[in-house]
Amino acid sequence: MKTVYKKAISLANKNGQNFIKEMAAYYTYIGIEEGNISNWFVLIAKSKETCKYICLSISRYDSGGAASTFYGDLKHFCLQKAENTCYRFCSCIRFWLRANLIWAYEKQIKAKYNIKF
């Protein structure tokens, strides 16, 4: 988990680095996922107290002075990723595709990081 911490620190801007350091007391960092915009990434973390998984939106070093923040739980991240992928399709395909993408993203994250949520 130290390698995830070090990689996140190296990718983040000054505000993001401070945010990651502050949250390290409460969360264990599991992995890094790309955001849908190139100037931020999502840091997946597990709470040390409740053992729940959350996502933190971290600003990249090239994003200027953008702030980092709490993004949501993993289910919200999968939902948002599916929404961003299928927003350009017509409505008759969108709902079917969205449901399948949410399931696929959840399965992908569970397998990649060996977690259950």
Per-residue confidence band for 1, with pLDDT thresholds at 50, 70 and 90: low
Q: pLDDT digit string (tens) for 29-43? A: 999 998 767 788 999
pLDDT of residue 55: 94
Domain that holds residue 107: 2-113
The pTM (predicted TM-score) of the whole model is: 0.83
Q: How many domains does the chain have?
A: 1
Per-residue confidence band for 25, with pLDDT thresholds at 50, 70 and 90: very high
Residue 43: partners with Cβ closer than 8 Å, 6 or more residues away:
4, 8, 20, 29, 31, 32, 55, 56, 57, 58
Q: Which two tokens stand for residue 65?
A: 């002075």
pLDDT of residue 50: 93
